[in-house]
Structure 1
Amino acid sequence: MLSIRLNPLQTSLKCLSIVRILQNNHYLLQNGSPTPTVSDFYLFRLQTHKQLHCTHKRFYTVEKFASKDPDVFGDIAGNKFEEFPLDPDEQEQEDFEKNEATVPRRLKLSKGQYADLIKEHIGKGDLQSAVKVLDLVKENRDKPTTYMYNLLLRAYAVQGNLISAWKTFTSMKRRALPLNAATYVSVINACANSPKRELALDRLANIREEMMLKNVVLNEVHYNAMVKAYGRHESLLDAFQIVDQMIDNKVTIGVDTFKSLLYACISNKEHGLRHALVVWHMMHRWRKQPDLLTYNLMLRAIRDTKMGNLKSNDVLLLNYQNSRILVSDSLKPDLLAHPPVVSNIHLPERSAESPDMISQAPIKTSAVVANNGKCEDFKLEEIHEKNKLILFGGFNGFMQRLEADGIQPDVKTITLLLDLVPDSLAIERKLLSVARTHKIALDIDFFNMLIKKRSFRKDYKAAKEVLDDIQRHNLVPDMITWGVLALGCKTLDDAQTLLDGLETAGHTLNPVIAGSLLGNACSMNNIPYILEILKLLMLLRIRPSSHIYTILDKYKRKVEDNLKSDQSTKIYRKPEFRKKFEVFKTRYEKFQLKFNREDNPEYIRDRRSRPSRTTSTVHNYQK
């Protein structure tokens, strides 16, 4: 700046000196002085230069423009402003800008690379590292984008971490980042997956109010997410009100909306199936084709919910007579048909001669009341409790409906049907045949459920046959498989076979399996069986659960009461059984003392101070 100002000044001074030299030469020539020599000329120029130099010093002082620090630019103007001390925050920012070096652009990540880094951490399940990426953005003096925050919001929504999701959402608003549709949907999904019902409903009300105040245009995805959120928190009325808003705002209602409504219906255990039927017939009225997930949700509603007070001749949809439940003896009962149909339903009765087949002699349910050949209105829930699928076309009718709609069942469909079909070996084999026909890869959970289903109806032989099916499907039994197989071990030999297989598979005995084995042994009054399991628990140092103590305490009280009673059965009057029971009581007391049972009965604490009573017969049996 100083050099720019002095350059024109020096030029003008040089011109002025030349003019004065010419004037002096002209003066000498006029006065008749001799012609000046070269020495006179240089002497005169030197005097003139000194004079000019003095003149320059007088009018333009260089010291005035001298910089205090040659490395600092712009300090020659002096202090024109009054200085004040900085605030702590301002001082911190000043120190940061003064001491921290700015990262060059070529060494920093781009916005897309920051987002990819966040996605990589989320894919590994490390949300803390994903959040630290935002700190890295701040350190590099970059600005985060809405997409980065949306990635974090979606991760929190999947986990149901509503508190962290709401903090992230608040941080976005504080940074004045634009909120798009994905932002609101992620927050709503976080409310849907949150286990805290009251907090989720409160946040849903806040987000709906904010969207209304900001005039956010809601689309089908927003509405579906809200329907699902209200449904999962058992607010079915609000879920249907959201659908009414969609109709009022002329938003397209697709299959996804109906599936969200079915999610909401499943949350209502008492009346959910009735509402699910309403949704099903709404789909048919609006000509929406159901998909596989729709059928699976309907099966879940049939399995987990009830119909409430739904009766025959009721209208499912208001002002839509095609949804009235008709009563007809000529048609097969099917509430999924259009119109829905019920009849004088006959439930099959299991025959004593063929427990694995359905008896051909049906019985009429008590729910149907007929007077003079006319069927009155009756509650359908009483029939639904006895047979889950009979009101929906039965197993064959449901499979035919799937085929008519071009739906290929998957493993979830087959697993849900296993829960719904009657306890019949014939239907279970037919279900396995359907899975083979459609080339459905069944998993170990399906076979575990099949073993449990057969064990509960005491068809232990068929339950063991499932192991062959597991081997044919190239599956490996897990711990749950051995647990449900233990339900059928009624003898000590069966238990020993199970324990050998458990050891071969690389598993160890646990309190759950031991409880199942002890329950079978107590129900069969097999004291050697009980003693062997107790011995094994002590040998392997497996601490018994409260369930095991409950089983053994009940058995001990039952036997003691029967031994005191005069009307006891023949087995309790045998001397051999009494001797074995004395051994059991002694062994059970030692068992409780070894594991320091906290809720010891009083008689055990009293007998600690007394010497143990060992008769010769007990000693001989223990040998």
Structure 2
Amino acid sequence: MASRIICLTFARTLRNLHISRHPSLLTKSPFPLKPHITFLHVKTYDKDLRLNEEPQIDKPPRKTENPKEIPILSTNPDVFGDAVIDDTPPDPGDVKEDEYIQNPTRRTKKVQIKDYAKMIKDHLNNNRLKEAIDVLEVKMLKEDRAKPDTYIYNLLISGCAKAGYTKKAFQLFNKMKQRNLSPKGGTYTSLFNACANAPSIGDGLTKANHLREVMLEKGYEPNAVNYNAMIKAYGRNGDTKTAYMLADEMLDKKLKVTTDTFNFLLQACASDKRYGFRHALLTWHRMHKNGIAPDFYSFNLILRCVRDTSIGDVETMEGVLRHIFDGSKDIPVIGSTDRLQIAATSNVGSEVVVETPTETRTPNPFNDKKTEVVPASTSIEQSITNLPRPEFETPNLLTSRPHLGSLISLEEVQHPHDRLLLIGGFSGFLLEMKKHGITPGIETFTTLLEVIPPTNAAEKQLIQMVRKIGLKSDIDFFNILIKKRSMRFDYEGAKEVLSMIQTAGLYPDIVTYGVLALGCRTQEEARELIGEMKSKDIRMNAQILGAMLRQGCAQKAFPYICEILQISLDENIRPNDVFLRHLDNFYKQCAQLIDIRHFSTKTKTFRKEHAQFCKKYRTWQEEQGIEGLKLDDAIKKLKQRPYQHFKEDTVEGLEDIKNVKLSKKSKMRKYIKKIKIENLKGDQIDQSTELKRIEPV
């Protein structure tokens, strides 16, 4: 203890006397420093005094029992310890990769933005949407770490919009804004097109409303093209009111309103199932007042309105007709109770004959010899004029001077062929197209086939018109003919169409077998159709099975239904909502018949087959994973995700729907001159039933 105090005192004395320049004094110190002494105040002078250095203590060398076992380390710096050097030659691929990484060439050409754009366009032109998106998200951002610009995003947003991939289009739009890229007019147009092609109405309307709010926040002033896209989006999603409001905004801003604008408004009319037909008439005459000529698509959209929509309540429809006849500029309010006022009426027995004023009547092309028309094809003109003339003058509300013809009753206008009579009927509609110099295509006749009267004679007359004009028919035309006959339970006539398809040189597709399934009333007919599909390598789907199930439930054929359920399990077909509803309704209907002790349920055959059906139904539910679930919950669980198929890789298969090259080809069309119309099944045309007599308006 005393030695430690003396050493500390000596150190402090040396520091105070500044003897750091004479280190020789330290060697002569009678008090040698020990290594375990620690200093409390170590400053710059400790280095000079060498007080912070540890003394070197000689240690005895380590003794080894056997000096010969001392390992001799390798002098190679790449070898650790006594590791054995592997003489195996390296892999040639690894050597090539190492050379490529260690010796990068300066001649490597950097991929430009236009090269990425070409790759994206090539994928989009071949319907490879997923691969086009991977060019941006994988190749550009992850592999090459390139910076995309507005043009790249606009290309992909446009491709997603055309395919109906609405969710991805808006995701790309959000990423575009995150990169501080300013959207242009074309960007908003593509986004509204994506809303128009959305898989569900609710999703499309929600995103369209959100996009309009974004445009208002940004202060963007839409142009005519943007307005047309907005009208298209709201019209297709059923918001007719907003679509017409946007059209009024275009007129207020003095933007150019074209035929496309009115065509999008007609699409909005076609989405309104209750009042769409009268909206279409008002839109059509507004187009005439603005001096805008209709085109090929305008007439086809009118036929869609005839097929899919109704006139609504009679009182409001009469108000619409009054405004059309008077030429008023005011658009009638929906729900108006104004009555239609006709110039003169005269009672004929229990009926009312409505006479159209002479100043507003359009000359009848069937009775009047002098009719001013736009020159068109001579074959079309001759074919139309050679049609059989009706006994009564058919009304026509499409002409620039509309008229009600001889007789009409709005209360009886319930079916598509009744609404077709309001626009001139089959012949009057084609004459109106001829006046505007428009030649009808096979698409026009395909839609006309759905709205003509459901008789073999009317169908025969339409086929004869197609043949005289010289149009080429496709398989869709004959598919609609099969469906129309099957829906009125004319299954023999539906099978007759197959021979017509073969005579025309066309080939059935999967839709053909789908509409043929509507006529499979027995289990044997269904097996025959399934066998024919297998021979043609056409895979079964939920729609075809649903059509067969509909017939099986209507016939109460338990073995037929059980076989359909087994096919669904064997082919691994996911049922859709229509399939599930048919099964659920049939199951409940059988339970009700048993509860009320209906006489048909007391037979041994019914009890045995019903027990087998219930057992098979429970097994089918277990396999589908919907056992014990309610109908709505089962539909929600088995419902296919709307955007799932966009995430799957493109498959090069043999089926048309999977093969990219075949899917891009236009459908085969053939002349039908070889079809012998006189040998087709038909009935005698009754001209008196073409136009219905009316009650007082």
TM-score using structure 2 length: 0.55
Supply the AA of the counterpart residue of 2:120. I
Q: Are 1:260 and 2:264 matched, yes or no?
A: yes
Distance of 1:496 and 1:130 partners within structure 2: 43
Supply the AA of the counterpart residue of 1:200. K
Aligned partner of 2:444 in structure 1 is: 413
Aligned partner of 2:552 in structure 1 is: 518
Q: Are 1:208 and 2:211 matched, yes or no?
A: no
SS at match of 1:310: helix
Q: Are 1:250 and 2:281 matched, yes or no?
A: no
Distance of 2:144 and 2:568 partners within structure 1: 59
Displacement of 1:552 after TM fit?
A: 7.9
Q: Are 1:181 and 2:212 matched, yes or no?
A: no
SS at match of 2:473: coil
Deviations for 1:572-593, whole angstroms, at most 9, x for unmatched residues? 8xxxx99xx5245324424543
Distance of 1:241 and 1:315 partners within structure 2: 20
Displacement of 1:508 after TM fit?
A: 7.8
Supply the AA of the counterpart residue of 1:518. G
Displacement of 1:263 after TM fit?
A: 1.7
Displacement of 1:535 after TM fit?
A: 7.3
Distance of 1:282 and 1:263 partners within structure 2: 15
State whether residues 276 and 301 of structure 1, in contact with CA within 8 Å, keep that contact through their aligned partners in structure 2: yes
Correspondences of 1:391-406 after superposition (within 5 Å): 391-406=422-437
Give the stretch that moved more between structures: 286-295 or 158-167: 158-167
State whether residues 117 and 133 of structure 1, in contact with CA within 8 Å, keep that contact through their aligned partners in structure 2: no
Q: Are 1:235 and 2:239 matched, yes or no?
A: yes
- Which of 322, 333, 341 is the matching residue for 2:403? 341
What percentage of aligned pairs have identical amino acids?
Answer: 33
TM-score using structure 1 length: 0.61
Q: Are 1:585 and 2:647 matched, yes or no?
A: no
Deviations for 1:212-235, whole angstroms, at most 9, x for unmatched residues? x25x4x432122112112222333
SS at match of 1:311: helix
Displacement of 1:469 after TM fit?
A: 1.1
Q: Are 1:314 and 2:341 matched, yes or no?
A: no
Deviations for 1:142-182, whole angstroms, at most 9, x for unmatched residues? 54332112102212322444443334334434444454322
Aligned partner of 1:224 in structure 2 is: 228
Displacement of 1:398 after TM fit?
A: 0.7
Deviations for 1:356-408, whole angstroms, at most 9, x for unmatched residues? xxxxxxxxx4x4xxxxxxxxxxx6x8466671201010011111212222222
- CA distance 1:451–1:129, shift in 2 (3 Å): closer
Distance of 1:202 and 1:516 partners within structure 2: 39
- CA distance 1:149–1:318, shift in 2 (3 Å): farther
Displacement of 1:446 after TM fit?
A: 3.0
State whether residues 416 and 451 of structure 2, in contact with CA within 8 Å, keep that contact through their aligned partners in structure 1: no
Q: CA RMSD in A?
A: 4.2
Q: Are 1:328 and 2:355 matched, yes or no?
A: yes
Distance of 1:488 and 1:280 partners within structure 2: 39
- CA distance 1:396–1:551, shift in 2 (3 Å): same
Distance of 2:174 and 2:523 partners within structure 1: 64
Distance of 2:251 and 2:103 partners within structure 1: 58
Distance of 1:396 and 1:276 partners within structure 2: 20
State whether residues 486 and 498 of structure 1, in contact with CA within 8 Å, keep that contact through their aligned partners in structure 2: yes
Deviations for 1:493-551, whole angstroms, at most 9, x for unmatched residues? 766765664555456887436435535654xxxxxx86588679779976997646855
Displacement of 1:268 after TM fit?
A: 2.1
Distance of 1:542 and 1:201 partners within structure 2: 42
Aligned partner of 2:486 in structure 1 is: 455
Displacement of 1:301 after TM fit?
A: 1.4
Supply the AA of the counterpart residue of 2:136. V
SS at match of 1:389: helix
Distance of 2:214 and 2:169 partners within structure 1: 12
State whether residues 569 and 620 of structure 2, in contact with CA within 8 Å, keep that contact through their aligned partners in structure 1: no
Distance of 1:193 and 1:153 partners within structure 2: 13
Distance of 1:548 and 1:173 partners within structure 2: 48
Q: Are 1:299 and 2:321 matched, yes or no?
A: no
Deviations for 1:15-69, whole angstroms, at most 9, x for unmatched residues? xxxxxxxxxxxxxxxxxxxxxxxxxxxxxxxxxxxxxxxxxxxxxxxxxxxxxxx
SS at match of 2:160: helix
- Which of 460, 469, 474 is the matching residue for 1:429? 460
Displacement of 1:467 after TM fit?
A: 1.1
Aligned partner of 1:149 in structure 2 is: 153
Distance of 1:325 and 1:143 partners within structure 2: 68
Give ranges in structure 2 of 5+ residues lacking alignment. 1-100, 333-339, 343-353, 362-392, 623-697
Displacement of 1:459 after TM fit?
A: 2.6
Q: Are 1:443 and 2:474 matched, yes or no?
A: yes
Displacement of 1:244 after TM fit?
A: 2.2
Distance of 1:535 and 1:186 partners within structure 2: 47
Distance of 2:447 and 2:225 partners within structure 1: 28
Displacement of 1:457 after TM fit?
A: 2.4
- CA distance 1:410–1:207, shift in 2 (3 Å): farther
State whether residues 192 and 200 of structure 1, in contact with CA within 8 Å, keep that contact through their aligned partners in structure 2: no
Displacement of 1:489 after TM fit?
A: 5.1
Aligned partner of 2:123 in structure 1 is: 121
Give the stretch that moved more between structures: 543-552 or 292-301: 543-552
Deviations for 1:253-285, whole angstroms, at most 9, x for unmatched residues? 111111121122222222222221122112211
Distance of 2:568 and 2:230 partners within structure 1: 53
Higher relative contact order (CA 8 A, sep 6+): 2
Supply the AA of the counterpart residue of 2:133. A
Aligned partner of 1:107 in structure 2 is: 109
SS at match of 1:108: coil
State whether residues 243 and 268 of structure 2, in contact with CA within 8 Å, keep that contact through their aligned partners in structure 1: yes
SS at match of 1:289: coil
- CA distance 1:291–1:174, shift in 2 (3 Å): same
Distance of 1:402 and 1:599 partners within structure 2: 53
Q: Are 1:280 and 2:284 matched, yes or no?
A: yes
Displacement of 1:287 after TM fit?
A: 1.9
Correspondences of 1:551-570 after superposition (within 5 Å): 551=586, 554=589, 564=599
Give ranges in structure 1 of 5+ residues lacking alignment. 1-98, 347-364, 368-378, 523-528, 565-571, 601-623
State whether residues 157 and 165 of structure 1, in contact with CA within 8 Å, keep that contact through their aligned partners in structure 2: yes
State whether residues 165 and 187 of structure 1, in contact with CA within 8 Å, keep that contact through their aligned partners in structure 2: yes
Q: Are 1:165 and 2:169 matched, yes or no?
A: yes
Give the stretch that moved more between structures: 435-444 or 256-265: 435-444
State whether residues 255 and 288 of structure 1, in contact with CA within 8 Å, keep that contact through their aligned partners in structure 2: yes
- Which of 206, 209, 233 is the matching residue for 1:199? 206
SS at match of 1:314: helix
How many residue pairs are counted as aligned between the two chains? 449
Distance of 2:180 and 2:614 partners within structure 1: 66
- CA distance 1:594–1:181, shift in 2 (3 Å): closer
Q: Are 1:130 and 2:133 matched, yes or no?
A: yes
- CA distance 1:552–1:437, shift in 2 (3 Å): farther
Displacement of 1:409 after TM fit?
A: 2.1
Distance of 1:100 and 1:173 partners within structure 2: 39
Considering fraction of residues, name the structure with more helix.
1
